[in-house]
């Protein structure tokens, strides 16, 4: 064997060694799980591999990576009837993560998309079951704290019609998370970290009636304000007219007194003038006659 053949053989050996090394070495990030499969079957214990450089059986075992970080889930609004027969749309969202990668890989093929689909089925059904057990006020509010209203009349009316909250939205959400978590963690290797109700809204038909009732309440309040304003207007106008009549009467009385005094003074002056010029006055009377 000549030197050229030796070099070629060494190069082939090196290439094969690099291929074997490349096929057997793999890295694991801190943000992912890794499940090794051998002829399609998961290898027990491979999901416990920590971050760093690791080795596997070349050409036989395959590396399957699964997201380890917290993942968002946002469901579609569900049309749900409450216990008091009010139809509402409930929009929920959740945060979840894979906690048992081997179970997640076995049940859902290790795909995050499949995890989202499973969450769609389970969380939506749990939300429907739990919300349907309570009245609407329990889903909307978390305490019996009195709300602020535009007027005392409306506040008194709403206070009289108020329903007492026994459970509240916070406990309902906790119940939803507890039930959904138990179902998911048991079968699919998933843990739900948080579930929240993002929005609660009436269906279109009920929403229109609610808006109309709100408009009617505001119109009734506006009518009361207008009647109170009209009453105050009448009181002010009546008092103004009374003061005006009083002032006019006093003015007329004072005017009559001044005219009387002036007439008396004129008569006195006229009398004095006649007394002083009686001959001239008789002469004028004679001419007039």
DSSP letters for 1-69: --HHHHHHHHHHHHHHHHHHHHHHEEEE-TTEEEEEEETTEEPTTGGG--SEEEE--TTTEEEEEEE-S
- Give the DSSP H/E element, type plus range, for residue 97: strand 87-98
Say if residue 279's pLDDT is above 90. Answer: no
Confidence check: pLDDT of 90 > 80 = yes
> pLDDT tens, 156-167?
666 656 667 788
Q: Is 142 or 185 the better-scoring residue by pLDDT?
A: 142
Asked if the model's pLDDT at residue 151 lies above 80, the reply is no
Q: Are 104 and 56 in contact (CB under 8 A)?
A: no
Contacts of 267 (CB under 8 A, 6+ apart): none
pLDDT (0 to 100) of residue 154: 60
Q: Which residue would you say has higher pLDDT here, 245 or 24?
A: 245
């Amino acid at each position: 064997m000549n030197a050229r053949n030796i070099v070629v053989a060494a190069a082939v050996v090196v290439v094969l060694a690099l291929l074997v090394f490349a096929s057997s070495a793999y890295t694991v990030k801190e943000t992912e799980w890794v499940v090794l499969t051998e002829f399609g079957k998961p290898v027990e214990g491979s999901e416990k591999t920590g971050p760093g450089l690791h080795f596997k059986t070349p050409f036989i075992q395959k590396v399957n990576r699964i997201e380890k970080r917290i993942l968002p889930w946002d469901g579609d609004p569900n049309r749900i009837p409450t216990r008091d027969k009010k139809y509402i749309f409930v929009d929920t969202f959740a945060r979840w993560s894979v906690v048992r990668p081997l179970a997640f890989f076995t049940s859902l093929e290790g795909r995050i998309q499949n995890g989202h689909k499973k969450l769609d089925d389970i969380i939506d059904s749990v939300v429907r079951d739990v919300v349907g057990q309570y009245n609407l006020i329990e889903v909307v509010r978390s305490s019996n704290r009195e709300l602020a209203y535009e007027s005392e009349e409306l506040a008194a009316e709403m206070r009289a019609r108020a329903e007492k909250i026994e459970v509240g939205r916070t406990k309902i959400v906790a119940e939803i998370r507890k039930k959904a978590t138990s179902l998911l963690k048991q079968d699919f290797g998933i843990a739900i970290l948080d579930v929240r109700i993002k929005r609660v809204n009436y269906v279109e038909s009920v929403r229109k009636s609610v808006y109309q009732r709100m408009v009617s309440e505001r119109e009734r309040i506006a009518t009361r304000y207008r009647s109170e304003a009209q009453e105050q207007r009448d009181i002010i106008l009546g008092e103004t007219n009374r003061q005006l009549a009083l002032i006019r009467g006093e003015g007329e009385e004072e005017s009559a007194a001044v005219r009387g005094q002036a007439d008396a003074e004129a008569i006195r002056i006229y009398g004095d003038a006649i007394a002083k010029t009686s001959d001239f006055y008789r002469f004028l009377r004679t001419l007039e006659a």
